[in-house]
Amino acid sequence: MLWWKGQPSFLDKLQRLQNTAIRKMLGVFHSSPSAAMEVEASIPPPKIRLNRQSRNFAIRVINMHETHPIRHRTPLSYPPGLDTGYESDPEFQEWDEPQSRDFQGRYETQLIRVLATIRDILPGTPRVENIDIDL
């Protein structure tokens, strides 16, 4: 689900398609409210379903084998601390930093943007800073 960014144009098309399918499955009138049909059919709205799939992908990346090509494209700080050799560009926002006005939500890749969707549910990863003290 790397392409999903909450685009209204895709969301409207998917919502209309889902409404048509639910109406056919439930056999309801065309004027039936879509929210009530979704509840009756136990189908979440497209926005919720796509956001969930995007977060699930980010969580699956954590469980991928260390030699998997996708793991090699994740930032060094992405859990569980696998040294991928990937160095991020300072012009873009890091996956684990809150939104800031400096970057305006610009991520280096779509993968990093998806990884940022689970930033709040992951336990904090301590960052250790090496300091060279000459005595």
In tens, the pLDDT along 51-109 reads 899 888 888 887 888 788 888 778 776 764 545 555 666 566 666 566 655 555 577 77
Residues 99-123: tens digit of each pLDDT: 655 555 577 778 877 887 777 676 6
Cα–Cα distance, 76 to 39 (Å, whole number)? 42
Residue 27 lies in a domain: yes
CB 115 within 8 A of CB 135: no
Q: Looking at residue 41, what is its pLDDT?
A: 94
Does this model's pTM top 0.75? My answer is no
Boundaries of domain holding 30: 1-45
d(CA 68, CA 41): 38
In a domain, 133, yes or no: no
Q: What secondary structure letter does DSSP report for 122?
A: S
9 in any annotated domain: yes
- Number of structural domains in the chain: 2
The residue with greater pLDDT, 24 or 66, is: 24
Asked whether residue 4 carries a pLDDT value surpassing 60, the answer given is yes
**Whether residue 85 is found in the same domain as residue 112:** yes
